[in-house]
Amino acid sequence: MDLYNHDTYGLCEVGAPDFRSVAQVGTKAPEFTLIGLDGKPVSLKNFIGKKHVLLEFGSIT
Amino acid sequence: MGEVPPLTELYERYQSRDFAFFIVYVREAHPGENFPHHTSFEQKLAHADKLRTLEKVHKIPILIDDMQGTTHKAYGLLPNMIYLIDRQGTVVYKSDWSDAEETDGMCASLLRLDEMKARQVPIIRQGISERLHWIPMDPAMRERIYRRSGEKAIQDYLNAKGHLPYATDDERKKSGET
């Protein structure tokens, strides 16, 4: 069973870390390379030394 | 996710001042008949595009996490998180629930830092602050979001929490939530 892509809201905390224990303030942000809706990849490392980055996580529901 | 119009306002205010804003599309928090859980990346992409039209995300770029939620997990796995990362790649602000007003204050704080550096103002040290915040309940808005997902999402929430996702304080008290 795919625990990440759960089909029931009640399973959302399975495997979840303590929010305050990951990607802590004052530490290096976890690197990522993600595809945009335009199909182009975006990497955090490309902004280092250039821009501040704001990430908002979300879904439709 | 958080409300898009206030975030878009921040984007308008800061994007020309060396800020890059992104929305990271992750798993569906409340899968239902209309928006079921993801079973393929193609479906996840299609959902992300639907998010763009439903929430009118016309300016802020949407990035799509992989099927395993690698980035979502690395940042804490919650549905409405917000992070601000400075240009050195350091996390300077994180919140478990997006709040545009608070985020505005933090963006302004980074701008002040940029100005201090430009003026070569000496900095004594890097400080840290912590705070609690309170997430408001808007039953009408919540009902709209959950109905969008479908009856299954509402039933799942009721099963997990013992009250409807758009219950008022009084209704939650009646259901015995502490």
The Cα A3–Cα B145 span in angstroms is 23
Task: Tell me which of 3.30.300.30, 1.10.3720.10, 3.40.50.300, 3.40.30.10 is the CATH number of domain B4-118.
Answer: 3.40.30.10
Average pLDDT over residues B127-139: 89
A8-42: pLDDT as tens digits = 898 888 888 999 999 999 999 999 999 999 999 99
The Cα B18–Cα A51 span in angstroms is 5
Average pLDDT over residues A47-61: 96
Average pLDDT over residues B99-128: 94
Question: CA separation (Å) from B121 to B108, B111, B117, B141?
Answer: 17, 14, 6, 45
Based on its alpha-carbon atoms, the radius of gyration of chain B, rounded to whole angstroms, reads 19
Query: Token digits for B28?
Result: 């569906």
Residue A1 has what pLDDT? 64
Question: Chain A contact for B63, CB < 8 A?
Answer: yes
Verify whether the Cβ–Cβ distance B153 to A9 is below 8 Å: yes
Verify whether the Cβ–Cβ distance A58 to B26 is below 8 Å: yes
pLDDT surpassing 80 at residue B105: yes
Residue A16 has what pLDDT? 86
Q: Give CATH 3.40.30.10 domain extents, chain B.
A: 4-118
B37-89: pLDDT as tens digits = 999 999 999 999 999 999 999 999 999 999 999 999 999 999 999 999 999 99
* Beta bridge pairs of residue A35: A41, B64
CB < 8 Å from B in window 17-56 of A: 17, 19, 22-30, 32, 34-38, 42, 44-45, 47-56
Question: CA separation (Å) from B31 to B90, B139, B150, B167, B174?
Answer: 33, 19, 8, 19, 26
Q: Which of A29, A52, A56 sits opposite B98 (nearest CB)?
A: A56
Question: Chain A contact for B74, CB < 8 A?
Answer: yes
Residues of A in contact with B22 (CB under 8 A): 42, 53-56
Task: Give the rounded distance of the alpha carbon of A34 from its chain centre.
Answer: 9
pLDDT surpassing 70 at residue B164: yes
Residue B25 has what pLDDT? 97
Q: For chain B, report the end-to-end CA distance as a whole number of angstroms.
A: 25
Verify whether the Cβ–Cβ distance B86 to A52 is below 8 Å: yes
Query: Token digits for A44?
Result: 């955090």
| Minimal CA separation from A1 to chain B, in Å | 11
Verify whether the Cβ–Cβ distance A16 to B77 is below 8 Å: yes
